[in-house]
Structures are given as structure tokens and as C-alpha cells.
């Protein structure tokens, strides 16, 4: 079983839809959870950052972490064509190796106007 599993999609939705992106993981040591957004031919950029379990909201974006199920989600409300990108989940443990991120393979999202 891979440490981090992420459905690669592609996912295509109409403008205004609610988008749900998900990752599962197997390493119970993961404590820090991130979502990166990567536009075509660009480097990844941090979108959301969450520590341990719970929800975090930033504008149209909500990140959820359920450590009991080893499952994280990113919700995008009122999706826009500018949200079209690849979304990568990433996670790391606490302690001495907290800087080493393990990435999912990414989900390609297209929002159609």
C-alpha cells in the first residue's frame, strides 16, 4: 500500500460547482497536512495547511482532516475556471523528519465556464 493515495482524475466540473478532492494515507505518524495547487507548466504553490485533525477554511477553500480514518479532503465552493489546475496533497510527520513531505500524485481539475 502506498503511503499516500490520491485519485488522479481527471475531474471536470461546470463553473459554480462544489469540488471535493481527497487523499488517503497509511502512515499514522503524519501530523501536518497540506494542499498544493499547480498550474500547467508552473511550480506547486501552497494552498492550505492544517495541523492534526479538524477543518480549516480560507475563502472558497476548506480543508478537512480525519486522522481516525486517515483521510483528508479539500473542498472548493463556487468553483471558477481559474481553479483549473492539478491539486497535490502532501503530508509530514512531527518531530525530526517534519520537513520531509510525502506527496500524492495529484488530481487534475478542469472547471468549465
Partner 1 sequence: NAGVTQTPKFRILKIGQSMTLQCTQDMNHNYMYWYRQDPGMGLKLIYYSVGAGITDKGEVPNGYNVSRSTTEDFPLRLELAAPSQTSVYFCASSPGTSGGGETQYFGPGTRLLVL
Residues that bind partner 1 in the complex, under the rule CB under 8 A: 6, 8, 31-34, 36, 41-46, 49, 51, 88, 92, 94, 98-101, 103-106
Give the single-character DSSP code of 109.
E
Grid coordinates given for 105: 500524485
Shortest distance, CB of residue 88 to partner 1, whole angstroms? Answer: 7
Question: In terms of CB distance, is 19 or 44 closer to partner 1?
Answer: 44
Between 82 and 97, name the residue whose CB sits nearer to partner 1.
Answer: 97
Rounded to the nearest whole angstrom, what is the least distance from the CB of residue 112 to partner 1 in the complex?
22
Amino acid at each position: 500500500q502506498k503511503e499516500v493515495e490520491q485519485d488522479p482524475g481527471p475531474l471536470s466540473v461546470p463553473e459554480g460547482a462544489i469540488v471535493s478532492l481527497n487523499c488517503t494515507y497509511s502512515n499514522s505518524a503524519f501530523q501536518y497536512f497540506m494542499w498544493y495547487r499547480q498550474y500547467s507548466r508552473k511550480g506547486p504553490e501552497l494552498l492550505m495547511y492544517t495541523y492534526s485533525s479538524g477543518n480549516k477554511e480560507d475563502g472558497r477553500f476548506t480543508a478537512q482532516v480525519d486522522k481516525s480514518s486517515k483521510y483528508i479532503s479539500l473542498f472548493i465552493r463556487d468553483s471558477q475556471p481559474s481553479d483549473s489546475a492539478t491539486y497535490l496533497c502532501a503530508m509530514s510527520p512531527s518531530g525530526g523528519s517534519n520537513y520531509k513531505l510525502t506527496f500524492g500524485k495529484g488530481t487534475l481539475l478542469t472547471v468549465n465556464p
